[in-house]
Structures are given as C-alpha cells and as structure tokens.
Amino acid sequence: MKKDPNMENALEMNRRQAIKRAGLMLGAALSASTLSGVAAAQTRAAGAKGKAVNLSAKEFELVSAFSERILPRTDTPGAVDVGVPEFADAMFGGFLSESEEETFRKGLASVDAISQETYRKAFVDLGASEQDAVIQEIAKSNGQDLKSFYRKARELTIVGYFTSEEVMRNVLNYDFIPGRYDGCVPISETGNVLWAH
Amino acid sequence: MNIQGKGTKQNTYDAIVIGSGISGGWAAKELSEKGLRTLALERGRDVKHGEYPTAHMEPWEFEGRNRSTQARRARQHKQNRTGYTTHPASAHWFVDDIDNPYSEDKPFDWMRGYHVGGRSLLWGRQSYRYSELDFEANAEDGFGVDWPIRYKDIAPWYDYVERFAGISGTNEGLPHLPDGQFLPPMEMNCVEKHARSRVAEAFSDRIITIGRAANLTVPHNGRGNCQYRNRCIRGCPFGGYFSSNVSTLPAGYASGNLTLRPFSIVNQIIYDNEKGKATGVRIIDAETNEVIEYYAKVIFSCASAVASTFILMNSKSSRFPNGMGNDSGELGHNLMDHHFKVGATGIAEGFDDQYYKGRRPNGIYVPRFRNVSKETTQKDYVRGFGYQGRASRMNWARGIGELARFGSSLKADLIEPGPWRFGIGSWGECLPYHENRMYLNEDVRDKWGQPTVTFDCEWKENELAMRKDMKQSAVDILEAAGMRDIRAFDTVEKSAPGNCIHEMGTARMGRDPKTSVLNKWNQVHGASNVFVTDGACMTSNSCVNPSLTYMALSARAADHAVNELKKGNLS
C-alpha cells in the first residue's frame, strides 16, 4: 500500500470524522467522555503509564516502548495510550502457554542485548529512530526464537490496539447494532475507515 | 438401585422427547401442539430465550479480549479443535472435555453443548433442502442402503418448517437444490455481485447465490429481524435466527402441553418384552444423581446422532441384547460428516471505492455442479460438493504478518479497510461406510457411571479424490470471477470427521429391517413407538447442511406418530 504524502491531513480528517460519528451515535452524554478520552490520549506521555501485574516493571517498560514504536501515537492514539502494554501483561496471566511466555521473555532480553551491542544503552533509553533501527534489525533476523518473539509482539500490539475500547469506538467506525446490511456503500460514506468488529 | 417414579401417574406422559436441540425442539412443538402431554428431557441446564450472557459484550469487556486461558483450553481440549467455538464469548455453550470424555481409535471431533437448545443456539444456520438426487444417491451408485423416502415425501414438510423457522434466500430453480418458502434474501456485496455475473458467463453449470440462512430478514412469527451483528453463536437477544429457545420451545409451552425437565440424562429407553414396545425412559438427574423413570406412549429420541445412538446401544433387553433396534447390526455404523476446509481465496481489484455496512451473518453459496447429470459425471469419485464463502475487505489483522512494516504508516494503513478478499470453502459429501462407526466403551465411564463412546471413523478414497476437485474447482471459480493472487488450500488435517459438526447416520433409515435401524417414518424396527429424528436417522449425507432436513423429518415423524396413536397402532 502506497502512502500519500497528505496522509497526515487525511488522518486528521479521519479522526475528526470518528469523533463526530461517535458523538452522533452515542448522544451528547457519552460523546463528552469520548472527546475527553481522545484529548487525554494526546497529552499523555509516550512512555509506560500503567502498572504490571504479571510482567516485571522492567519488562513492562520494555513492552511499552516496543509496542509504541509498532503503533506510535500520531493524530490517533498510540499503543501505550490505549493500554496495549496492560493487555500484553494480562496475557501473561494464564493466556499464553509456558513456552510462549519463555520465548517472549527471551525475546525481550534479546531486544536489550541488541540495543546494548549497538548503542550501549537499554532499548527504553534510546531515541525513537534508534529504537526503530533495532526493530528493523529484529524484523530481518532469521533466529527462530527472535522471529517468534517479534511475531508475538506484533500480534499482541495489533490485537490489543484494535480491540481496545478507545480504538474501536473513536478511531474505527463503530456500529454496535448495525440493524441492517447494505452490500454496496461508497467508501466516502465511511470516511475510508474500517468498521470495528 | 433406588429408582424413583416407578409406575406413578405423575411420571406418565403421552410423549417423551429426548433432547431439546433442533430436532427435539421440533418434536416437542409438534407433539404438544397436536394435544399430547409432552415431557422434553434435556441433559444440561435450562436456557430461556434471552439468557445469553455474552450477547452484548464487546471485545474489550472480556478478560483477555475474548482469548481463552490455558486452563480453559485444557478443559476443552477437544471442543477447541474447531478453532472458533471455545473463546469466552461462546465457550459456555460447549462441554467440558474432562467431565465428558470420549475415546478415539482414529481422530474424531465430537463438538457439543449440554443445555436447553443444544446446538440450535450455535449452528451455522445454513438451510438447504436435500434433493431427489440425494434421496436416490445410494440406490444409484450402490453405497449404503436405499433411502425409504423420496423428495416428494419430505417436500411438504420442508415447506412447513421453512414457513415457521423463517429462512432467507433466493429461489434459483435448480433441481438438485430445490426452491423453498423463503423470506427476502440478504444482499450480496459489490464484489460478490460482480463474481456472480462473471461466473454465470463463464460456466453453464454453476452459479453463485446468496446463502439460504435461518436468519430473519424481516420480522417473522413474533421474532425480530436480524440486526447484522454477526454474533449469532452467543445467542441472539433479538431472536434474529432460529433456535429451539426462541422458536419451537415457546410454541410448545404456548400449547399448555409441554413440560421441560433440564439436568435429565437419559440412560436408556425401557422396553417391555410382553407388550413388544417401549414404555418409557430411565434418567439420571445430572445434579442429584437420582435415577428416575418416566413413561409415555411414544418416545422421540432427538438427543443428537451420537447421543441417540448411545441411548439405543445402552438400552439392552432380552429382545434387544445388542441395543434397541439393532437386529441389523447397523446401529452405530455408517457414521458420516461433511469433509471441508478445502478451497481457495483471491484478491478482487477495482472495488477500492466500495464498502458495505453491517456484519452479515451469512455468505454466498455455490450449489453442487458435479455428478448432477450425465455431462457432469466424474470418473474419479461419486457424489458432490458445494461452496460457501464471501467477499469482504480485510481488516487490521493482516498487519500482524507484515513483519517488515511498523510505525505510523502501518497504523494509518490498518485503520483503513484493506483489500477485498474473496474466499470460498467447500463442503463435500461423505459416503456411508459400514466400517466408520461409534461403539460403547464400557471401560471408560462418565461421572454418572455410564459407558462412554469410542469413534472409529476416517475419510476414504472417494472423499480424498473429491477433495482434489474441490480445491481445483475453487481456483477455477475464483479465476472466472476475476480474482488475482489466488491461493488454494486443503487443510485436511484440520478436518477430521466430526469437525464439520454434521455427524450423522448411526441409526439409519431403510426399507429393510435387516440392513437398517429405522423405517420410513423414523420408527425403530421392532419398537415402533420409538422414533429417532436427529442426524442418526440419515441414510446418506448429501453435501448440503443438514439441520433443515432434521426439522422436516422431525415434524413429519411427529405427525405420523399422532396419527398412529389415534388409530391405536402404537398402543
């Protein structure tokens, strides 16, 4: 998919449309909280914000930083804004198998090892472009464990992001009870935004 | 053993129906509406319409966003084999495999739920009629025994159950996929419409039609129409699709003649040697372990193919030492399911400015086109297959595997609708083989001390030869439809018998008591007041989804039972 240079503007349009739509659908009482949610997302720091239950504090920070580079805050919320790290942490509470947990923890250690090797700093202490360089290296890796980790990290980030209340309600087209099916709708009527489901 | 209820009037009814799923719901409705005091026995808990705990939940409201914990997976390690049933949104409708064990000589997926409504709450809702081609198939090619009925015998009952249940669809005038009494069809989307016309141009023998689904496109019989949430498997608070809970059982209750007893595991049907008929059933209360007997003039076993067969096998008497109705030795044999998980996907180009609204709980259907005429006869296999599928725009999940991409452009891209993808998967007919069977396992007992079931069933040459064509023809159809990047798949390893949840055939109907278990009215040979109207009765498999046929056969058998009772032929 080619990106158009005016994408940022288009995204801003999408976000406005999403907020407007949420307001129309949910009524004034709820749209106020929706709007404040989006506003809060814009002012929050990009680092870890929540608290880990199953992961160590250090692991949680690393998951936060890593997932935020996969889906960073732009004019729409980023992974940290919508609770991706908390979702990943919850997955360590009985949802992942023991071997999945082990592979993931080993992967996190590798992320820091690569950061140290290249920049002599932990991943969380790197700047965004350095963090991206580390991720690019991991994406190219042929190591089976590192590959499994990277895929799982992407899966948890993308699933956690797109099944979050904030993204489903305010970023995507949210239609809880559609009530009808229309087979052919011009894309312009949906703002070129995906239906949430 | 302390048996409750022996000979008491309060435990005596006109009719007993075992099971409350698709077939049991229909039997209960018909028998009670025709004036019989009817007791419906369900082994699981009661579920009244509307008692669907996850129906309104969004992904973020589930712990783990609707993923299963490892602990839950361990308890449902077999139910989990479908890949879609044991998420928290629907896991409560499927049994705990530790508490409800079965054994496998060869892999067999027995997917089931123990609650009022059974799998009528969970079914795929695709509703097609068997055709004359299906009823003649066994006689034609010699596999299995001849059906004792033909299409004309069941056609009025298809009309009858379709009118009540509410099936949306389009009449296409095909002899091998008979027209029906349909509510207005759901709409195809732009890509599906395009594919329909392309395929019609390219092939004289195949069409794309909208799926015929037991989802209401308009309000019907007091039920609301489908709301296009596509969360049917959780139970529909709107009554938008047919289930026992919203359709047949309320009709039965309204007659004033229907009593439903949940937590009632039927252990056996009681046979009276002197009277030469069944007198009632013995149940185990699933909660208290009490053993209770109930009596009736007529008994309908609608517990599911495997469970009804289990009950007959477990109903031993001096007259039936090998299980009730098993003079032929065919009880438990001829186990069938549809084989599936083979087909193709492709990408549609030129429709990026088009989308849809609503989540349609239905797809498109390609009716069978092989072995339907002299011209379409195949040399490698008998019988045939159909396709179910849909076109849709891909969602954010496509981003997980795009390992090289991350960051703001990936996120922006995933917020947009993805490419149009058209996928079709095939459902193929399986032959009735005597060797494919289930049998009682006396060594492994359930927690009530009953024997359990062992399966010994596999796909054979005809199914495997058919799959090659199922795969190639899917590619041909998608090519004709103008798709790009077509990828064929055949994950036969994920399609063990049972996985399609259309198990059937283990107490088949037939013309000859020497080779079948049931007669043409679904009556057990040698115990004519016992009727079996669930999937167990099926003599052949067809390639279409079977539930509509179970409905029609149940209503037809109930009508016959009442007529016979009036004539004094069952007492």
d(CA B284, CA B335): 27
Does A181 contact B359 at a Cβ distance shorter than 8 Å?
Answer: yes
Among chain A residues, CA nearest to B412: A11
d(CA B136, CA B62): 49
CA-nearest of B227, B502, B212, B472 to B364 is B212
Which residues partner with B280 through β-bridges? B270, B295
* Mean pLDDT value of segment B505-512: 98
Q: Which residue has the higher pLDDT, A44 or B120?
A: B120
The enclosing H or E element of B357 equals strand B354-357
Does A159 contact B395 at a Cβ distance shorter than 8 Å?
Answer: no
Cβ-Cβ contacts under 8 Å, B70 against chain A: 94-97
- The mean of the pLDDT values for chain B is 97
* Mean pLDDT value of segment B416-443: 98
Chain B interface test: which of A6, A21, A162 (most B C-beta within 10 Å): A162
Chain A interface test: which of B56, B60, B80, B229 (most A C-beta within 10 Å): B60
The answer to whether residue A1 scores a pLDDT higher than 60 is no
The answer to whether residue A38 scores a pLDDT higher than 80 is no
Cβ-Cβ contacts under 8 Å, A183 against chain B: 187-190, 192-193, 356, 360
The pLDDT, as a whole number, for residue A28 is 33
Quick check: B355 contacting A, CB < 8 Å?
A: yes
Cβ-Cβ contacts under 8 Å, A190 against chain B: 355, 357, 417
Between B547-567 and B22-33, two packed helices, what is the crossing angle to 10 degrees? 30
Chain A interface test: which of B62, B65, B233 (most A C-beta within 10 Å): B65
Which segments of chain A are extended strands (E)? 182-186
* Mean pLDDT value of segment B164-176: 98
* Mean pLDDT value of segment B176-202: 98
Question: What is the share, in percent, of chain B residues with pLDDT greater than 70?
Answer: 99
The answer to whether residue A27 scores a pLDDT higher than 70 is no
The pLDDT, as a whole number, for residue B6 is 66
Question: In terms of C-beta density within 10 A (0-12 exposed, 13-18 middle, 19 or more buried), how is residue B488 classed?
Answer: middle
Does A69 contact B393 at a Cβ distance shorter than 8 Å?
Answer: no
Residue A58 CB contacts under 8 Å (≥ 6 apart), including other chains: none
3-state SS string for B99-155: CCCCEECCCCCCCCCCECCHHHHCCCCECCCCCHHHHHHHHHHCCCCCCCCCHHHHH
The pLDDT, as a whole number, for residue A48 is 59
Q: How far is CA B144 from CA B354, B381, B433, B455, in A?
A: 49, 15, 7, 19
Does B408 contact A74 at a Cβ distance shorter than 8 Å?
Answer: yes
Taking only the tens place, the pLDDT of each residue in A58-77 is: 999 999 999 999 999 999 99
Burial annotation B343-357 (CB, 10 A radius, 16+ → b, else e): bbbbbbeebeebbbb
Quote the minimal CA–CA distance from A130 to chain B in Å. 13
d(CA B43, CA A102): 42
Does B354 contact A195 at a Cβ distance shorter than 8 Å?
Answer: no
Quote the minimal CA–CA distance from B169 to chain A in Å. 15
Q: Which residues 67-86 in chain B show a CB within 8 A of chain A?
A: 67-71
Residue B206 CB contacts under 8 Å (≥ 6 apart), including other chains: B199, B366, B367, B369, B477
Which segments of B360-501 are extended strands (E)? 364-366, 385-393, 420-428, 437-445, 451-456, 484-490
- From A69, A76, A176, residue closest to B406, measured CB to CB: A69
The answer to whether residue A103 scores a pLDDT higher than 80 is yes
Q: Are B509 and B518 contacting, i.e. CB atoms less than 8 angstroms apart?
A: yes
Taking only the tens place, the pLDDT of each residue in B272-298 is: 999 999 999 999 999 999 999 999 999
Cβ-Cβ contacts under 8 Å, A3 against chain B: 409, 412-413
The pLDDT, as a whole number, for residue A11 is 39
Does B187 contact A165 at a Cβ distance shorter than 8 Å?
Answer: no
pTM of the complete model: 0.92
Chain A interface test: which of B415, B420, B421 (most A C-beta within 10 Å): B415
The pLDDT, as a whole number, for residue A169 is 97
Cβ-Cβ contacts under 8 Å, B415 against chain A: 11, 14, 76, 171-172, 193-194
Does B228 contact A195 at a Cβ distance shorter than 8 Å?
Answer: no
* Mean pLDDT value of segment B338-355: 97
* Mean pLDDT value of segment B64-79: 94
* Mean pLDDT value of segment A5-24: 40
The answer to whether residue A8 scores a pLDDT higher than 60 is no
The pLDDT, as a whole number, for residue B281 is 98
Question: What is the share, in percent, of chain B residues with pLDDT greater than 90?
Answer: 97
The pLDDT, as a whole number, for residue A51 is 83
pLDDT band at A20 (very low <50, low <70, confident <90, very high): very low
Burial annotation B150-184 (CB, 10 A radius, 16+ → b, else e): ebebbbebbebbbebbbbbbbeeeeebbbebbbbe
- From A94, A172, A192, residue closest to B70, measured CB to CB: A94
Burial annotation B221-251 (CB, 10 A radius, 16+ → b, else e): eebebbbbbbbbbbbbbbbbbbbbbbbbbbb
Quote the minimal CA–CA distance from B391 to chain A in Å. 10
- Spacing of C-alpha B14 from chain mean position: 28
Quote the minimal CA–CA distance from B328 to chain A in Å. 49
Question: In terms of C-beta density within 10 A (0-12 exposed, 13-18 middle, 19 or more buried), how is residue B559 classed?
Answer: middle
Quote the minimal CA–CA distance from B56 to chain A in Å. 9
Cβ-Cβ contacts under 8 Å, A178 against chain B: 227-229, 357-359
Q: What share of chain B is helix, strand, coil (3-state, %, to 5)?
A: 25, 20, 50
Question: In terms of C-beta density within 10 A (0-12 exposed, 13-18 middle, 19 or more buried), how is residue B414 classed?
Answer: buried
* Single-letter amino acid, residue B292: I
Q: Are A107 and A137 contacting, i.e. CB atoms less than 8 angstroms apart?
A: no
d(CA B127, CA B241): 12
Cβ-Cβ contacts under 8 Å, B404 against chain A: 139
CA-nearest of B255, B258, B219 to B239 is B219
In three-state secondary structure terms, B191 is helix
Does B415 contact A76 at a Cβ distance shorter than 8 Å?
Answer: yes
Does A183 contact B64 at a Cβ distance shorter than 8 Å?
Answer: no
The answer to whether residue B139 scores a pLDDT higher than 70 is yes
Does A151 contact B229 at a Cβ distance shorter than 8 Å?
Answer: no
The pLDDT, as a whole number, for residue A16 is 42
Taking only the tens place, the pLDDT of each residue in B220-257 is: 999 999 999 999 999 999 999 999 999 999 999 999 99
Taking only the tens place, the pLDDT of each residue in A104-127 is: 999 999 999 999 999 999 999 999
Residue indicated by tokens 């989308």: B355
| Sign, CA torsion B347/B352/B354/B360 | positive
Among chain A residues, CA nearest to B187: A183
Does B359 contact A150 at a Cβ distance shorter than 8 Å?
Answer: no
* Single-letter amino acid, residue B37: R
Does B68 contact A95 at a Cβ distance shorter than 8 Å?
Answer: yes
The pLDDT, as a whole number, for residue B63 is 86
